[in-house]
Structure 1
């Protein structure tokens, strides 16, 4: 069975820089106010190395990724 990743965004910490959406556009988008949001069904998706890169790229470390 493939590894899945649980992704969470600390919305209180997010500043809307958009680095996550630029790095992993299949997983992240920006909401109507410009803050980070997960695309539908992305919260528990198959592991994608770009998601970890997006978490590293976040200037305020608002993204957490855990492997199951």
Structure 2
């Protein structure tokens, strides 16, 4: 079950990246490696924080019931 959840999260979080990539590709614009790494880092931090907050909310809900 965790594998399916992880796969769905990966697909959902990358749909917008796919659209932006197509738009940049159509215009033949390139993103530099440092900029790309920075975007990946910010995305990873956002995903980590979302998972951490979700776990905290899950524990809070479980504690209240």
- Same fold by TM-score, threshold 0.5 exceeded? no
Greater relative contact order (CA < 8 Å, ≥ 6 in sequence): 1
Could you tell me the TM-score, scaled by structure 2's length? Answer: 0.30
**TM-score of the pair, normalised by structure 1:** 0.29
Structure 1 or 2, whichever has the larger Rg, is 2
- Which structure has greater strand proportion? 1
